[in-house]
Chain A
Amino acid sequence: MEQTSAQPAHVHAPPKTFLRKHVFSLDHKVIGKQYYGLALVAVFTGMALSWLMRFHLVWPAAKIPGLELLSKAGAPGGIITPEYYLSLLTMHGTLMVFFVLTNAPFAGFGNYFLPIQIGAEDMAFPRFNMMSFWVTFVAFLVLLLAFFIPDGPPISGWTAYAPLSAIGNDAGPGLGWGQNLWAISIAIFCIGQLLGSLNFIATTLDLRAKGMSLMRMPICTWAWFVTACIGLLAFAVLLPACLLLLLDKLAGTSFFIPAGLVVSDRLQPHAGGSPLLWQHLFWFFGHPEVYIAILPAIGIVSHVLITSMRKPMLSAKVLIYSMMSIGFLSWMVWGHHMFVSGMNPFSSLLFSFPTLTITIPATIITLIWLGSLYGANIRINSASLFALGFVSMFVSGGVSGFFLAQPSIDIYLHATYFVVGHFHMVMGVAAIFGILSGTYFWFPKMSGRMMNETLGKLHFWITFIGTYCIFMPFHYLGMAGNVRRYSSFVDDYMAPLMPLHKFISIAAFITGAAQLVFLYNLIHSRFRGAPAVENPWDATSLEWSVPSPPPWNNFGGKHPVVYHDPYQYGVKGSKGDYVMQDSAEQPATS
């Protein structure tokens, strides 16, 4: 039921011009789609880079036609040089972590759906919101620019450890202006994220509809809120880190560079800096960042699962508190990236305990999902398949974390493919599955059309099996001591591992191709998909009470009132086995 009440006049009027409607829009829905679109471009770019990497690793002497056009120095004759491999690796990581995993599940879907799910007309600060996207877009362009300058992209990885990243070209190609552009891009990105997080938090706290208490918000709204809280503080630390790095590079300071370094036969004119300081600052941001990447996916998957299972979770409150505990604990574990870094070994032990403890809320969440599946009536479709796939991937990725959380085991597994397998499972697969599940679920609402289910299922099967084929073997390689970030494998003990690498590369190409099926489905359905009704999934949260797609002010000028939580499934409602959140209807006794 809606009511018109004495709400203050909305902050912006309906958009009239093309620019205001589609480019510099203040509408959170348009901004959400813009973020999603940016993430789409970034993910395909990042994926292409990974194909180049996987290709080079198993066929190092092979020519890749046309690559020399992108970089004459990096790929002369189409053959990737060791430094260019590292450039590709750096840009792959940077694009994926920042421009895909922070953008799509959080800024993309969050911007689109958070206001609607809490019954608001828009975000609290639409102008800041618009700025946040365009600032992020500028950051993206600055990053890509590194590909086209003579220096080339940096070769220090997405982690940009100093002093390699701070010394400049003496330390290698790409470390001059390539590294500078990287640091500038990320600094700009931080500002965009801060503006975005500000909006999410203020909107959630202040703009909820009548009856929408915090605990009645959908789980995915909570996930976005917790993510925004983490993001606000994490990016506020990455920004100064990047600024200090830029000062070391451009202004001759020595925050991260100690005295007496001889690089390329030149004694470096710096003194007293600390390489470990960079690592501390970076990982203080970097660990919460990975929870920024996964929490929205946890929220989205929970949301999709509830609708697909036709029943509520065992306890939404427990899920929410677990997400909050993860958010809280995420600040205490950053040192687990630095166990063998030269940091005080006693600190390493200290960090391992909260790291292991985080397993508990993660396990609670997984068990709640599993336990909720019991007694359900799961509707299988593309969205629910990816949601179920997410549960599987989350378990796989989480379990390998067990090993890395222990410093003694990390002595052997650090910097091997085991680590690469772990973070790809959780971020590169699970989080992506969350995004994909959300896409199939919300596409009808966002576009007014249905995606093709057959193509969606095909996409799922190839991706599910394919990603297991790619990333499970990474763990085996790690157990054998295969070191990461190597552009070629020349060590004696690597020869027997090459067949497995070939298997991985082929799996990667096939799985990658399946993503083109998804892209086709996305674009084709946008224009030719079957028309979608308001509530194609028989779901209860507020986004399903508005037209597909929603009007510019979401609720048509009315103000929704909610009467209960959005988990009224498995009841005898007038519309079916559910009651919508804004309905005061009392379901019949069973």
Chain B
Amino acid sequence: MATTTYAPLPAQTRSLAAPTSRSGIWVGIFAITMFFAAFTSALSVRQGSGDWSHITIPSIMYANTLALLLSSVTTELSRRSITKSQASGSAMRAALPWLGVTLLLGVAFVVGQYLAWRELAARGLYLATNPNSSFLYVFTAAHVLHLLGGIAGLLYLGVRVAADSTTLRRSSFDNTAIYWHFMGVLWLYLLVVIGIRL
């Protein structure tokens, strides 16, 4: 067999201290996308059944959308309050005010969705009423559940920052922000689906 001369690869240009969790959040987002893709394809198949009567979504959902989009803005404001040189600890406190606003907007969205469901119920549209309503509730409930996860993440950040944690990494902020933005993008997609197709 031929002999091989071994040479180590050139030193990795990527910093050895690169945060590990960054690819994780994208992997997670990928999985959640597939989850909603499955629901969407179920909707496509089901729509072929013919017993379809359009549902006008409650107008409060538009207000909720605004709140969620605004919360993405405030997330960025919060994240960017931490200037680059501040790696951790009490220096992160600068992020707290906008973080708090983000949380409020997030909670407002959830409350608003609940009110939307109440309005649907008042119209006689429940989960099992007809195929459209089933999907409407499934889509919005699934999104809210994932959003609650995001709210939990924001709360966790807030608590750690307020406690002047020294082990909280900047990347945790970035990843939570990415997740939060994804929740907004996902909601926009769902709004189109439920607004137009349902």
Contacts and interface: CB of A to CB of B under 8 A. Distances in A.
Are chains A and B native binding partners rather than an unrelated pairing?
yes
Interface of A: 5-8, 124-125, 194, 197-199, 201-203, 205-207, 210-211, 213, 232-233, 235-237, 239-241, 243-244, 247, 251-255, 271-274, 276-277, 280-281, 284, 311, 561-564, 568, 570-571, 584, 586-590
A-B complex: 5 closest residue pairs judged by Cβ atoms: A252-B128, A236-B34, A202-B24, A237-B38, A240-B38
A198 B45 contact: no
17 contacts: A6-B17, A201-B24, A202-B20, A202-B27, A232-B34, A236-B38, A237-B37, A247-B134, A255-B134, A272-B51, A274-B48, A277-B45, A277-B46, A571-B3, A584-B6, A584-B8, A586-B3
A229 to B, nearest CB: 9
A244 B6 contact: no
A236 B30 CA distance: 9
Contacts of B45: 274, 276-277, 280
B23 A206 contact: yes
A124 B16 CA distance: 14
Candidate in A125, A207, A244 with the most chain B CB atoms within 10 angstroms: A244
B32 interface: yes
B51 A240 contact: no
B96 to A, nearest CB: 24
Nearest to B34: A236
Nearest to B11: A210
Given A201-B27, A277-B42, 17 more contacts: A7-B17, A8-B16, A124-B20, A125-B20, A205-B23, A206-B23, A232-B27, A232-B31, A240-B42, A243-B138, A254-B131, A255-B46, A271-B51, A277-B46, A561-B8, A564-B4, A571-B4
Contacts of A281: 38, 41-42
Contacts of B12: 210
A46 B196 CA distance: 48
Interface in B22-65: 22-24, 27-28, 30-32, 34-35, 37-39, 41-42, 45-46, 48-51
Nearest to A258: B49
Nearest to A8: B17
Contacts of B16: 5-8, 210
Contacts of B4: 564, 568, 571, 587
A201 B23 contact: yes
A280 B37 CA distance: 13
Contacts of A562: 8
Given A201-B27, A236-B34, A564-B6, A274 B49 contact: yes
Nearest to A252: B128
A211 B9 contact: yes
Contact of B3 (A201, A561, A587): A587
B3 A247 contact: no
A125 B35 contact: no
Contacts of B46: 255, 272-274, 277
B21 interface: yes
Interface in B86-144: 127-128, 131, 134, 138, 142
A585 to B, nearest CB: 8
B7 interface: yes
Contacts of B27: 197-198, 201-202, 232
A15 B53 CA distance: 59
B18 interface: yes
Interface of B: 1, 3-9, 11-12, 16-18, 20-24, 27-28, 30-32, 34-35, 37-39, 41-42, 45-46, 48-51, 127-128, 131, 134, 138, 142
A7 B15 CA distance: 9
A198 B7 CA distance: 32
A288 B41 CA distance: 18
Given A202-B24, A206-B23, A590-B3, A240 B35 contact: yes
Nearest to A5: B16
Contacts of A561: 8
Contacts of B5: 586
Contact of B31 (A125, A194, A213): A194
B32 A202 contact: no
B38 A232 contact: no
B140 to A, nearest CB: 14
B1 A198 contact: no
Contacts of A255: 42, 46, 134
A124 B38 contact: no
Contacts of A584: 6, 8
Nearest to A213: B9
A198 B28 contact: yes
A520 B11 CA distance: 48
B192 to A, nearest CB: 19
Contacts of A251: 127-128
Contacts of A247: 127, 134, 138
B3 A589 contact: yes
Given A244-B138, A571-B1, A254 B31 contact: no
Candidate in B4, B7, B31 with the most chain A CB atoms within 10 angstroms: B31
Given A5-B16, A7-B16, A568-B4, A272 B24 contact: no
A5 to B, nearest CB: 6
Contacts of B37: 237
A202 to B, nearest CB: 4
Contacts of B32: 236
Contacts of B7: 563
A586 B6 contact: yes
Nearest to A276: B45
A238 B45 CA distance: 16
A8 B48 CA distance: 54
Candidate in A239, A254, A568 with the most chain B CB atoms within 10 angstroms: A254
Candidate in A198, A199, A562, A590 with the most chain B CB atoms within 10 angstroms: A198
A587 B39 CA distance: 57
A384 to B, nearest CB: 21
Contacts of B31: 194, 197-198, 232-233, 235-236
A125 B24 contact: yes
A254 B38 contact: no
Nearest to B15: A6
A228 B176 CA distance: 23
A253 B3 contact: no
Given A236-B32, A240-B38, A568-B4, A253 B134 contact: yes
Contacts of A277: 42, 45-46
B131 A237 contact: no
Contacts of A194: 31
Contacts of A241: 38
A561 to B, nearest CB: 7
B1 A206 contact: no
A202 B171 CA distance: 14
